[in-house]
Every structure is written in structure tokens, then in C-alpha cells.
Amino acid sequence: MWDNNTFPLFHAATAFTSIGRERRARAALTWMADLGSERRSWMVEQAAAAGHPLERLLPPPVAKPLHTRDYRGQVSPPFMPLTAEAALELGTDYDFAAAEVRTLLIERVGTRLTGSLVLSAPRRYDGGLQAADPPELNLWLEDVTDVNFDSDDRVGAALHSGAEGIVIGVGASGELRATSGTAYPDDRSWHLSTAGRAADQRTPPREEQTRRTPERRRPYPEGAVLVAARILHSVMLEIRMVRYAHLADRIPVRMLASALAGADADILAAGAHRGSRREKAFRNLTETWIKKGGSALAPWFIGELRRVIREERLPDATKAWIEGITTPEAKHPRLVTASALDLPPEGELRLAKYTTAHTRHETPQDPAAVIVLAHTEQDSPNRPWRLRALKVEDVSRFRLRTDAFDGPHELRTVEETISVESLKLGRDALDVHGRKARP
């Protein structure tokens, strides 16, 4: 379940009959699947992993137009598979020879590598009023097989796609290889490009475009049902914070997931009650989550409950219940787990991200790198591995090779001044030169 489907879940769980629950659940799933083909595929995949054949419960997917129009009525660029045709189209409208890398990200996902590359590439066409704002070409890569990047050699690019996959040349000797990928030109003037003008001819006016059916309004949950829904929604948002690489080691995902383990069946069971028994059931469920979270999560739960009181109109009895379990006298440790100050002696590289100094939409970005490592505890090697995120600022050089992701490597630093050092992994497969790494 995605976080924006939390309230529909509780709406379905609190229907009066099993038929009503089924109808509401199907409606919520249909609305969620209509958010896009990737969302639908994700839903089907997750349901299959849990033993539920979801595809047969959903209506047939509706074909989406390749191009749409924005609020101005201008045709918008599509997300396109990185085929030979797409590479030719991009090369027609953008000068790859003068392109410059703005961001590189390589991440290990299971046993494979994925990546993304952002290039600032001059237009080959007149950008009109947006000519002063250079576009960014976003390239997402699946099953990356080769990485050889040096930030000192980041100007100039070449894009090739063929039967053997995708090859992106960077600078004089840099290279990225992958089996497949997707491209998206983030360009406010794309409608003026060769590809944009061609798309404009075959894209209907905005008022004629098929629009997504709005979600039907449903009764807003009340009392303890609303409180439980808000808590579940907040937990999912908190867990999703790990998508920000520099926070990967700060969010206690395992503890949050353990606290809400079995929530699906528990919500259905609580929703089957009526009247005051339902209110009591959802209060008990919320308190159970807090209890399972233990003292480490207690302050976070308490803070969220107090926020619900501030932001929602609750019955007096529900408010009194929350105030009773969030007494200000209670003292608890902080939620966020603090990173250790010392670097682990070795680790497995999980993610490496480099951003060069640049300005985008009048917002300056400083040169920086984020490194995420998986490592064991030095004093407890048999315990589960931990993630460690390191942020390096004022990066003057960033070098990365594929073998940086091959198994555990020694992690070391070479101090050059009081505040500047090189962070190296393995045989310099990763070498980041900048301000001392900090958690």
C-alpha cells in the first residue's frame, strides 16, 4: 500500500459488511493503479509477493498518450526508453559534445547496480524566453555493468544504444554501460525543439485530453480511527525518508516496521466492530503500536499524537485519551539513531552520489558527495549489518569505478589539511577529495 491510500484502507476496513469492504477496497485499488503504469506494476508485484493475484481484480490498463500538454497548453517531453531512436532524437536537439555532468548516482539494488546521470547540455535550437536557463537531460540506467568516472573529466558526452545495451561516454575516457535505461529532458523550451514541434502536431489540445477520473469523496474517519490512520500514514512517510541517501542510516526502519507488524489484519479486526467498541479497538491498536515500539520510538509516537490533536477536529473523549497517554512528564530518549563518529575500517559500497557545483532555476548547488556503506559492528560481527551514510562537502574531485561495489573493501582516509582529506575505498575504486566526511 502506498501512503496516499491510507485513508481508503481505513474506509474499506470500517464498512458495515464484507461486501461493502470488498467494494471499497476494489475502488481504492483501482484508483491507486490508475496513477500510472509503474505504480500499477509495483502494486501487482507486491501483491504477488504476498500471495495475492491482484491483476485479475483490476480493470484493464488504459493506454496513456505518449505526449501531454502542460498548464500553458505546451506539449510536454515524455519519459522515453533509451533506444537508438531516442539517442538520435536527443542528439538532434542537444549538443552532447558540450554537455557537462551535473549529477552521477550509482546504487546497488540486491545483486545488480542501477544508476542515474544528469547532464547539462546546450540546446541546438532557439530556446526562446528560456534560452538563458540550460536544460538538464536525466538518464536512468538499469543493470549497470561498467562505471569509470572522474569528475576532472566530466565535460563532453556521447550516447549510444544498440543490441548490446547502452553506452554513455563521459569526457575523454569516462564510460557508463547498462542493459537498458530511460531518458527525460527537463527543458522548459522542449516544445520548440525538433522533437517537440513534431509532437505538437500529433497531440490534441489540452481541453481534449483524457483526464484521470477524480477519486470519489468518502467520509472522513473520526475519533480513534482517524488517529490510527494518521499514525500509520506518518510511519510510512518516515520510512520513505530513506530515499534521501544522506538519511539512510538515520531512520530506524527495522524498529518502525516491527512496531506495526501485523497492522493489516489488526486494522481489519478493529474495523469490524461498531460504535464505542470500534473506538476502543482502534485506541487499543494505537497503544499496541506504541508499546511495541518501545522506549526508543515512544517520543516519536507521542509527538505524532500531539500533532494529530493540533491538526484534527477530534471528539473530546478521543482528545482526553490522547492526552492521557502523552503525559508531558514522560521522559524518553530521542527517536533518530545517531551515526557513529568514527569511520568503519571496511564496508560494502551501497550508493555513491556526486553533485558538481552548478545553479539550477536560480538556486546554487555546492559540490558534494554522499556515500552509503554497509558494515558490521566492530565489536559484534555476528549482528545484522548496518548502513552508514557519509556526506562530503566542497568536493574537488570524485572518482568511481565499478569494482568499488565488489564486496567489502578497506575504507581509509588520507588527511591533507586540518579540514580537507581524501576518502578512499579499496584500491582507489572510490576516491573522494573534499572536506572531511561527516555523518
- One-character DSSP codes across 276-288: HHHHHHHHHHHHH
pTM of the model: 0.82
pLDDT recorded at residue 376: 77
Pairing relationship of beta strands 165-170 and 174-186 according to DSSP bridges? antiparallel
Ramachandran bin of 18, using left for φ above 0, alpha for ψ from -120 to 50, beta for the remaining angles: alpha
Give the angle 227-230-233 at the CA atoms, nearest 5°.
Answer: 150
Top-confidence residue, 335 or 342: 342
Number of Cβ within 10 Å of residue 44's Cβ equals 18
**Which sequence spans correspond to the domains of the chain?**
1-64, 80-182, 219-338, 346-435
Looking up cell 553533485 gives 355
Pairing relationship of beta strands 100-109 and 346-355 according to DSSP bridges? antiparallel
The 10s digit of each residue's pLDDT in 306-330 is 999 999 999 999 999 999 998 764 5
Distance CA 259, CA 253 (A): 10
Residue type, 223: G
Distance CA 428, CA 409 (A): 10
Contact 252, 335 (CB under 8 A): yes
Contact 146, 175 (CB under 8 A): yes
Three cell numbers written together for 378: 566492530
Three cell numbers written together for 137: 537531460
Which helix (H) or strand (E) is 238 found in, with range?
helix 223-240
Min mean pLDDT across 38-52, 176-190, 337-351 is at 337-351
The 10s digit of each residue's pLDDT in 223-252 is 999 999 999 999 999 998 888 888 888 888
Please tell me whether residue 313 adopts helix, strand or coil conformation.
coil
Top-confidence residue, 256 or 133: 256
Q: How far apart are the first and last CA of the chain?
A: 31
Mean pLDDT of 259-265: 93
Reference 249, options 138, 344, 382; nearest CA is: 344
pLDDT category of residue 418 using cuts at 50, 70 and 90: low
Mean pLDDT of 46-64: 86
Contact 397, 383 (CB under 8 A): no
pLDDT category of residue 438 using cuts at 50, 70 and 90: low
Contact 157, 88 (CB under 8 A): no
| CB proximity list for 63: less than 8 A, separation 6 or greater | none
Residue 337 has phi, psi (to 5 degrees) of -80, 125
Mean pLDDT of 163-187: 96
Kindly give the residue spans of alpha helices, DSSP state H, lying in 326-401: none
Min mean pLDDT across 6-20, 73-87, 196-210 is at 196-210
Distance CA 268, CA 265 (A): 5
Contact 256, 334 (CB under 8 A): no
Please state, in angstroms and as integers, the Cα–Cα distance from residue 361 to each residue in 130, 184, 191, 320, 358, following that order: 11, 17, 19, 48, 10
Please tell me whether residue 367 adopts helix, strand or coil conformation.
coil
Top-confidence residue, 122 or 383: 122
What's the residue count for the chain?
439
pLDDT over threshold 50, residue 212 = yes
